[in-house]
Structure 1
Amino acid sequence: MHYRIEAADLHAHLYGVTLTIAQPAANQRVSLPVWIAGSYMVREFAKQITGISARQGQRAVAVHQLDKATWAVDCKADTPLTLNYQVHAHDDSVRTAWLTAQRGFFNGTSLCLQAEGLADVPHQLELVAASFNAREKMRAPWQVATGLTPIKVDRQGFGTYEAANYDELVDCPVEMGAFWSGSFKASGIQHRFVVAGATPAFDGERLLRDSQKICETAIRFWHGNSGRGSKRSATPHKSYVFMLNAVADGYGGLEHRNSTALICNRADLPRLSDDTAKDAKQSDGYTTLLGLISHEYFHTWNVKGLRPAEFARYDYTQENYTQLLWFFEGFTSYYDDLLLRRAGLIDDAQYLKLLNKTINQVLQTPGREVHSVAQSSFEAWTKYYRQDANSPNLTVSYYTKGALVALCLDLSLRLHGVKNHSVSLDDVMRALWMRCCTGKGRDKGLGPMTEADVLAVLKELTGRSWAPEFKAWVHGTRELPLEKLLSSHGVHVHHDPAQLAQRLGLRVAQEHAVQIKTVLSGSAAHKAGFAPGDEWLGVEVAGHASAQTATAWRIKKLDDLLLFAGTAKKVRALISRDHQLHHLTLALPDAKANSTWRLSLDNSKLVQQWLGL
């Protein structure tokens, strides 16, 4: 299988793809994936394909489309078959493909047709330099970054790469352009970091330094100090590539076997001569970026190595269901910031602030009371990735609640102990790696991970069953014992009055008016009859000491309500819905009716024992 990729038209954002199948079957079928691993939504990548044609030698052969993403070719068997097609690429995300005169990027799932019956043969990818560099008189020639194995490439990285099979081919995205590039070694493993879209103020050396600390901390977490080549457990990658796209407004990442694609706000990059102690906004943004780097790198082990048994072999034609995303995404979300603390990139107060944010996000989501985190994992395809105004009432994020399940399990294990020996979630993760991902584990036929594996490891390490906790925390909707466990580890929980929007049960936009985005179930706004899409225009307040008659006020931001309501217990809200005006009777909740959590350090010794310092 050989794919030749070129820029068919930079301004039309078209890649040209030539696929040569050396030994096709008669009436060979080809298809394009409908989703990409790590992003659990059917995205219909085939809708961007145009102009597909085929030849065998000099003879044109017919191509018939069978469904939304599958084609049959009227070809003979064992005679080389060549297909030509173009792919429109103008999605500036980490999931699909992008092509302009300034930058190129793609995942194989967006460009590379899969040949039925040939997924396990070697696949080659050829990137044609001339089509990217010569057509536009570039100020600087483009370079290439990818985790694929180079076979014959030039100094810029253009040329031919090889993958063992289709899965590897589409799990190694490609970044192209005149990007910034740097490298470092972590535990002896070569890491490359490329950044597109950076400004002259970008401090690349600081990013490399901090990323190196993250990678070394993660490798030590999984493999101790031995690093690659350890007899006990070798790292899963020989090299690694970070591909970061810095944009005006964006955030996200997608993990791959030996690389990751990232996107961040350009303003969040570290800056030359930047004193973050004086610039809280920069510090918070950069910390968020480091957390993203930590998250995606941790996935090298937890989802790429350890993976749900249902993902042992991806089916790219349809949804792949699992109830374990709470573990693979949630536990990774627990460790991403925790490893920043262990790497010395944030302090205790910063870590607790990040954890505090996650806790409040979950506590302010009514969906946690009706949707377990296991159900949330299974229904990610339709609920998490296809959110609407009512989503907070229907589901809970397997990222955030999964992280809190990991927190509860970690803190519970540390309290439990075994014969004066401390046990932690760290031990569980490493034991699962040895059980499921090493030769010893495979010899036992254990293979990819199931929930039963997690429970078995927990019982081996502690001598008791953790099924009751899993029933309550993972498969149930009861509140997690967060406050009790945090208190036992030196963290005090303060209950502060909630912000007005949370007390009312609203999520709003407030640019020039109060636009209702979400109404939370059971809230005061819900009982009053507010609905997503309403515009809140004003309030009418009954007479009081300073105004004997009812008064009506225009509001432009939510806090105006406190100004105009005074001590009133109820107001009449004037809203616009479908250009019709309605009055709603709103009972104003007491300031103490809802609260937000604020974590503070109570016992530094206990906290540091937990954080692993």
Structure 2
Amino acid sequence: MSAPSSPSAQVSGPAVAALHYAVALPEPHTHLLQVTLTIAQPSATQTLMLPVWIPGSYLVREFARHVQGMTARQSGRACPVTTLDKHRWQVSCRAGVPLEVHYVVYAHDASVRAAWLDAERCFFNPAAVCVQAEGHAHLPHVLALTEAPAGWELATALPAQEVDARGLGCYAAPDYDTLADSPVELGRFWSGSFTAHGIPHRLVISQPPPSFDADRLLADTRRICEAEMRFWHGGTPPDADAQPSPGMAPFDHYLFLLHTVQDGYGGLEHGTSTALIASRKTLPRPGVRPGDDYTTLLGLISHEYFHAWNVKRLRPADLLPYDYTQESYTSLLWFFEGITSYYDDLLLLRAGCIDAATYLRQLDRAIEQVRATPGRHVQSVADASRDAWIKYYRPDEHTPNATVSYYTKGALVALCLDLTLREEGHASLDDVMRLLWQRCCPQGHTQKGLTEADVADALETVGGRSFARELRQWVHGTAELPVEKLLSLHGVRILRSAASLPRQWGLRCQESPAGIQIQTVLRGGVAEAAGLAPGDEWLGVELPDPLPGSHGAWRVATLADVEALLPPPGPSGLREVTALVARDRRLLRLPLGLPATTVQQWKLGFSRPPGNRAHKHWPWA
């Protein structure tokens, strides 16, 4: 590992390519990126296209809405530019004569998906900034950023051609897909590095807090990377100065770009890098024992790094090749995101970053999230995968009733598959994943796209029997998963207790100084039966008369106020109260029946010590 450092200059040849993008930021406070594309050998009518989505985030984003003022020149003369549709332009020019296209991109999207520019920082995905020249996507591309404010550095996973000590200069990509898959960070950032199995890794953190435990973060990130390399390829951790281990990763370098904010969370995977957003409070602090916030950050790092194998190279056949012009549907996001979600925390345990009790807490949260989602009875994870374009990234108040997360339930499907394989004595899901890697990516690169038939065949090969019934019921069906049974077979017990008041009534609420705002009314709960609706403001509770010493209406401002007025959940003498709510400035009295039975929440615990294996395939050894 190394202390924070600036990138060293690299020179591997002149910045010559069929397509050359020069990106400038002369006035960062305007949030405008100036882009000049030079096409060495344009067509007579050259079509340009900006992707409408970015791989890994399955929603049409319409990046072209931020493009303005496109002009073109050839041999000093202006060329007409015609807008064809929402994301394409056509330039009338002479074939074979270098064409220069200039345009401006408004960059004020703080997510990991698009572009951001202000006086302190610049970040962008080339998919949101660099137009593709039709017919030229397979040719070499160069991205040039040669000027930036004083003190700013540049970080990207693209190979450097000619760069200075700050990283400013020219970067090469063999084709447009590689360019689009390589985010760029500029600014005054913290930087540290380490090697994992001899392969260099760099961690860049923009706008971190004044003090954090950099050594711990680098050490834990290294442990994660090495655990995931061993997962896919086997091997043991080398010495820090060891030479790269052949075949231990499908890349020869890797870059983590972490932007820290007050509140936020997310990540987007790329082939040799990842872009992350996390709260500053998730970073470890010197001398302070890390808690769940830090575990959340490590889980995000683990998740996106795992994607370097599972989705970036082991790719769904439906997404080969990427079609940037429209939605690309697949029913396998439960596999690519769900299985990745299963392993992100499990590999933290294997890497020694968390203990078994912490792992069970993380697993418990996932189980409870699914159990609290009525939509699991409506939508399968296969359908959720295909519907991602219109549902997952556009949640509303009805989402929990109509959909299920292919991330979270997909992780539980992976858990059930893993525990079933282990219980039957036929290795584990680890072996299935490695077999699929060997079959689809034999040289570390995508050779064939993955289909569900491939998954089924690998399960049968490893498990010694068909898993068609499990895939039909767990992936394409909506029945409950056998989580409780399988966990109990592997030494995990489930403790039950009364769920929170909102869960008892089938509500999701938000508290504020103004009072209780109802966000979601869950399907099948007493709140739905009473007629409560999203957007209602819960003002008070009216108790029945006679109820000794307590009858009348009571003002409530918090859920604790409501809970204090009522008996514990379950059978009692009190069967109904009246909810006083405001809706569209109208006051309503809604009879609210109390739950006849107690809604329970789960808490997982070990029925035998984590170090005591039930058998050789116990997953938490």
TM-score by length of 2: 0.93
2:27 aligned with 1:2: no
Give 1:229 shift: 7.0
Give 1:459 shift: 1.3
Give 1:611 shift: 3.0
Give 1:57 shift: 1.4
Give 1:370 shift: 0.7
2:66 aligned with 1:36: no
1:452 alignment counterpart: 453
2:386 aligned with 1:383: no
CA distance in 2, matches of 1:234, 1:186: 9
CA distance in 2, matches of 1:170, 1:38: 12
CA distance in 1, matches of 2:135, 2:356: 53
2:282 alignment counterpart: 268
Whether the aligned pair in 1 keeps the contact of 2:577 and 2:593 (CA below 8 Å) is: yes
Structural RMSD (CA): 1.6
1:324 alignment counterpart: 332
2:147 aligned with 1:163: no
Q: Of 224, 232, 237, which residue of structure 2 is paired with 1:214?
A: 224
Letter of the structure 2 residue corresponding to residue 91 of structure 1 = D
2:527 aligned with 1:525: yes
- Give the paired residue count: 589
Letter of the structure 2 residue corresponding to residue 307 of structure 1 = R
Q: Of 357, 367, 372, which residue of structure 1 is paired with 2:375?
A: 367
2:8 alignment counterpart: none
2:191 aligned with 1:181: yes
2:590 aligned with 1:576: no
What are the superposed Cα offsets for residues 488-524 of structure 1, whole Å, 9 maximum, x if unpaired?
A: 0000011211110001000000112110000000110
Whether the aligned pair in 2 keeps the contact of 1:31 and 1:115 (CA below 8 Å) is: yes
What are the superposed Cα offsets for residues 370-414 of structure 1, whole Å, 9 maximum, x if unpaired?
A: 100000000001111001000000100000000000000000000
Give 1:470 shift: 0.1
2:522 aligned with 1:536: no
2:16 aligned with 1:16: no
Whether the aligned pair in 1 keeps the contact of 2:278 and 2:297 (CA below 8 Å) is: yes
CA distance in 1, matches of 2:194, 2:236: 18
1:279 alignment counterpart: none
1:258 alignment counterpart: 272
CA distance in 1, matches of 2:169, 2:351: 38
TM-score by length of 1: 0.94
Whether the aligned pair in 2 keeps the contact of 1:65 and 1:72 (CA below 8 Å) is: yes
CA distance in 2, matches of 1:434, 1:110: 33
2:119 aligned with 1:119: no
2:123 aligned with 1:105: yes
Flag structure 1 segments of 5+ consecutive residues without an equivalent.
277-282
Q: How does 1:105-504 map to 2 (within 5 A)?
A: 105-129=123-147, 132-133=148-149, 138=150, 141-225=151-235, 233-276=247-290, 283-417=291-425, 422-439=426-443, 447-504=448-505
What are the superposed Cα offsets for residues 21-68 of structure 1, whole Å, 9 maximum, x if unpaired?
A: 000111100011111110011111111111110000110011010111
Whether the aligned pair in 2 keeps the contact of 1:541 and 1:568 (CA below 8 Å) is: no
Letter of the structure 2 residue corresponding to residue 599 of structure 1 = L
What are the superposed Cα offsets for residues 545-588 of structure 1, whole Å, 9 maximum, x if unpaired?
A: 5238x401111112322322445210111111111111111001
Give 1:612 shift: 5.2
Moved over 4 A (4+): 226-231, 439-442
Say which SS state the counterpart of residue 486 (structure 1) adopts. Answer: helix
Whether the aligned pair in 1 keeps the contact of 2:198 and 2:245 (CA below 8 Å) is: no
What are the superposed Cα offsets for residues 237-279 of structure 1, whole Å, 9 maximum, x if unpaired?
A: 1000000001111111000000000011011111122233xxx
Give 1:168 shift: 0.3
Whether the aligned pair in 1 keeps the contact of 2:194 and 2:200 (CA below 8 Å) is: yes
Letter of the structure 1 residue corresponding to residue 205 of structure 2 = V
CA distance in 1, matches of 2:303, 2:281: 20
Whether the aligned pair in 1 keeps the contact of 2:356 and 2:620 (CA below 8 Å) is: no
Letter of the structure 1 residue corresponding to residue 606 of structure 2 = L
1:598 alignment counterpart: 603
CA distance in 2, matches of 1:191, 1:578: 55
What are the superposed Cα offsets for residues 338-394 of structure 1, whole Å, 9 maximum, x if unpaired?
A: 000001111111000000000000000000001000000000011110010000001
Give 1:453 shift: 0.5
Letter of the structure 1 residue corresponding to residue 267 of structure 2 = G
Say which SS state the counterpart of residue 540 (structure 2) adopts. Answer: strand
Whether the aligned pair in 1 keeps the contact of 2:521 and 2:527 (CA below 8 Å) is: yes
Structure with more helix by fraction: 1
CA distance in 2, matches of 1:400, 1:43: 24
Whether the aligned pair in 2 keeps the contact of 1:497 and 1:594 (CA below 8 Å) is: yes
Q: Percent identity?
A: 54
Say which SS state the counterpart of residue 28 (structure 1) adopts. Answer: strand
Say which SS state the counterpart of residue 3 (structure 1) adopts. Answer: strand
